[in-house]
Amino acid sequence: MFADVSSADNWADRWSYLLRGPGWAYDKRKARLAA
């Protein structure tokens, strides 16, 4: 989780990693891994 927060592009995404459910950023993470 800390790696996701530190690699987030903006503060809204950082807070979302902390406060939202575990699957909300799957598309972002998938796109980042594919690049």
- Within 13 Å and on the Cβ side, how many CA atoms surround 33? 7
> How many residues are given for the chain?
35
Kindly state the average pLDDT of the residues 9-19. Answer: 88
pTM higher than the cut 0.85: no
pLDDT of the residue at 11: 92
Judge whether 17 and 28 are in contact, CB under 8 Å: no
Residue 2: other Cβ atoms inside 10 A:
8
Domain assignment of residue 29, given as a range? 1-34
Tally of domains in the chain: 1
Give CA separation, 32 vs 8, 35, in Å. 11, 5
pLDDT at 16 over 70: yes
Higher pLDDT among residues 23 and 6, named by residue: 6
In angstroms, what CA-CA distances link 4 with 15, 34, 35? 11, 16, 16
